[in-house]
Amino acid sequence: MEPSRSPSPSKVIEGYLSRIHVLRLNKDVDNSIPNAEIINNLYNELNNYVMKLDKKVGGVLKQHEMECLKNYKDKMYAIQKEIRQLRDKANEEENSKRKENKIKELEEHRNKLKERAEELDRLCKEQKRSLDKWKMRAEEMLDDKKFYEEQLEEAKKQQETLKKQLRDFGDGRQEETEMIFENSPQTLNKVSTFVTSNSPNPNYFSQVSHRLKETIGHMYSQLEAERKNLRSLKNAKTNYLLEKGELEDLFLLCVEDIKREIFARKMKASRSVTKGKKVTEKDRQVEFSEFKEIDKRKVMENFLNSEKVRRFLYEKMFGKIAEEPITLEKNMTKSPHKILVKSRSSSKPSTSNGLLSQIFSRAQLSPESKGDNRSSSVPPDSIKKSA
C-alpha cells in the first residue's frame, strides 16, 4: 500500500475558494417556503462571513509568515552570535596557548641565564680568591725584597767597617815596628827575636775573612729559613681566612631551616588567595628582610643549642672533655659522706651568651695567634740575628 499523502495548503485554499464562488451563485430561497426570509438572511450572513474568511485567512497567513521570518531572523542572529562566541573562544584559547608557550620559553631562557649567572658568580668568587692569594704573595715578595735590600746594605756597611778595621790594624802594626827599629840596635835585636818568635800566621787575615764569610753565609741561611717560616704562616693565615669552618656551615644550615619555616608560613597565609597557583622558584626564595625578630632569635637558639657548638665552646673554655663529667652518688642516706662530685672539666657553659663564642673563636682560631705561637718556638738567638 502506498502511503497517504496530505494535500498541499495551496490546493486546499483553492478548493475552498471555489466552493465559496459556488455558494455565491446560488439563488435565494423561495418566499413560499416558510421562514424563507430568516433562511435568506442567515444565508446572506453566511455568505458575508465566507467572503470575509479569505481576508482573515490571508491576514493570518501573513501574520504567521511574519512570525516565521522573525523567528528565523532571531534564530540566525543567535546562531551568528554563537558562531562569533565560538570564534572568540577559539582565538582566546589559541592566544592563551601561545602565551603559555611564550612564557615557558621565557622561563627556560631565564633559568639558563640564572644558571649562567650562578656559574659566572662562582667563577668570579674563585678568581677573587685567587686574586687575594696572589696579592698576599705579591706583598710577601715586596716585604722579602725590602728585607733583603736592607740586609744587603747592612752587610755592605759591615764589610766596609771590617775592611777599615783591617787597614787600621795593619797600619798600627807597621808603625810600631818602625818605631822599634828607630830606637836602638839592641832593642831592634830584641824586638826582631820577639817578632820572629811571636809573629802571627801569614794567613791570619785570610782566615779571619773566611770565618766572617762563613758567619755571614750561616746568618743568610738562618734568615732564609725564618723567611720561609713567615711565608708559610702567612699562607696558612690566607687559607684560614678563605676557607669555611664547621661552625659556619652549621650556622648556614640553621638559617636554611628557619627559611623553610618562613616559606611554610607564607604559603599557609597566601593559600586562600593563590589557590591552585603553582609555586615558582622566586616564591621559594626568602630574603633577609622577611626575617622577624623571633626568627633571628630562633636561628641563634638553634645554632647555640647544637651539640657541636657546645662541644666547641666547652673545649675552648675547659680543655678536653672528660669521659664521665658528672658522678652522682645515689644513696645519700646510707653514706652521708658522699656528695655530688662534679669536675670542673665537665661543667658545660651556658650557650645563651653569644659573646663567649666570639671571644674564644678569636682567641684560639685567629691566624695571628697561631703565628705568634709558632714564632715563640724560634730561639731568641736566631731572632736577634735575623733582626
Over pLDDT 90: what percentage of the chain?
A: 18
Residue 159 carries which side chain, given as an amino acid letter? Answer: Q
* pLDDT exceeds cutoff 80 at 277: no
Highest mean pLDDT among 68-77, 167-176, 251-260, 328-337: 68-77
Higher pLDDT, 339 or 217: 217
Cα(269)–Cα(247) distance, integer angstroms: 33
Which residues have C-beta within 8 Å of that of residue 257, sequence separation ≥ 6?
A: 302
What's the half-sphere exposure (Cβ side, CA atoms, 13 Å) at 33? 9
- Identify whether the C-beta of residue 242 lies closer than 8 Å to the C-beta of residue 270: no
Q: Output the pLDDT for position 194.
A: 46
For the stretch 25-41, pLDDT in tens is 455 556 667 777 888 88
Is the separation of the CB atoms in 54 and 24 below 8 Å?
A: no
Q: How high is the pLDDT of residue 193?
A: 52
* Residue 178: predicted pLDDT: 58
> 118-122, 159-163, 198-202: lowest mean pLDDT where?
198-202
Measured between alpha carbons, how far is 273 from 279 in angstroms, rounded to an integer?
A: 13
Highest mean pLDDT among 11-15, 107-111, 327-331: 107-111
pLDDT at 240: 62
Residues 6+ apart with CB under 8 A from 286: 259, 262, 263, 266
H helix and E strand count, the chain:
11, 2
Structure-block grid coordinates of residue 98:
601561545
pLDDT at 144: 86
Q: Answer yes or no: is pLDDT of 81 > 90.
A: yes
User: What is the grid cell recorded at 349?
Assistant: 657553659
Domain ranges of the chain: 9-91
- What's the CA gap between 61 and 65, in Å, rounded? 6
What confidence tier does 202 reach under pLDDT thresholds 50, 70, 90?
Answer: low
pLDDT at 191 over 70: no
The predicted structure's pLDDT at residue 72: 93
Mean pLDDT of the chain: 71
Q: DSSP 3-state assignment of 346?
A: helix
CA distance 160 to 347: 66
296-335 pLDDT, tens per residue? 888 888 888 888 888 888 888 887 554 434 333 334 344 4
C-alpha span between 217 and 155 (Å, rounded): 11
Assigned C-alpha cell, 145:
725584597
d(CA 67, CA 302): 84
CA distances, 47 to each of 33, 57, 279 (Å) = 20, 15, 87
* Torsion angles phi and psi, residue 325, rounded to 5: -70, -35
